[in-house]
Amino acid sequence: MKKILLVSTFGAFMLLQTPLAFSGDAADVSSLRGKNALDAEAKPIEKKKQIKTAAGIDRNWELQPPSIPHDISKERITLKGNTCMKCHSEANHKKEKAPAISKSHYVTRDMKVLDKLSSRRYFCVQCHTPQADVEPLVDNAFESNTLKLDNLLMKKAAQ
């Protein structure tokens, strides 16, 4: 009986608190989608120019999924098919002058090596993304380790 009383007192307390907790002015809160009330549409993000280069985009660390250096607006990855594989599969990549997906893309999560693309690598853009030359949305102190790695390897080779 005591317990029930305690629970219901707590419930009443929460009910009282709830309107108070949300009564702050939502317009004061600015997030990456701007100063928008939650139920209002945010302005669409300005479309930025994509970096496109046949030379590829440098990786920032070893084993980074390389960024996509070409247009992918017409590519489709659905349950029925994956148009990226028209160029990046083992069978087609030479003809298309594209790099083939690497060996890691054939390995399942149980470390079985398949003859075909592993389903865990099916949704390419989960890891590979196009890039635009823009200021970062949030400041960060990230530094690529590629240069450091190159220096390290050069030193080792000189030994």
By beta-carbon proximity to ligand HEC, the closer residue of 122 and 145 is: 122
What string marks each residue from 27 to 66 as x (binds ligand HEC by CB under 6 A) or -?
---------------------------x-x------x-xx
For residue 106, give the nearest of 96, 94, 116 by alpha carbon. 116
What string marks each residue from 96 to 125 as x (binds ligand HEC by CB under 6 A) or -?
xxxx-xx-xx-----------x---xxxxx
Q: How far is the CB of 146 from ligand HEC (least distance, A)?
A: 13
Q: Where are the alpha helices (DSSP H) in 44-145?
A: 85-88, 93-96
Q: Where are the alpha helices (DSSP H) in the chain?
A: 2-21, 85-88, 93-96, 146-158
Taking CB under 6 A as the rule, does residue 150 contact ligand HEC? no
Provide the 3-class DSSP secondary structure of residue 48.
coil
Check: CB of residue 101 under 8 Å from CB of residue 89. Answer: yes
Positions touching ligand HEC (CB under 6 A) are 54, 56, 63, 65-66, 68-70, 72, 75, 82-88, 96-99, 101-102, 104-105, 117, 121-128
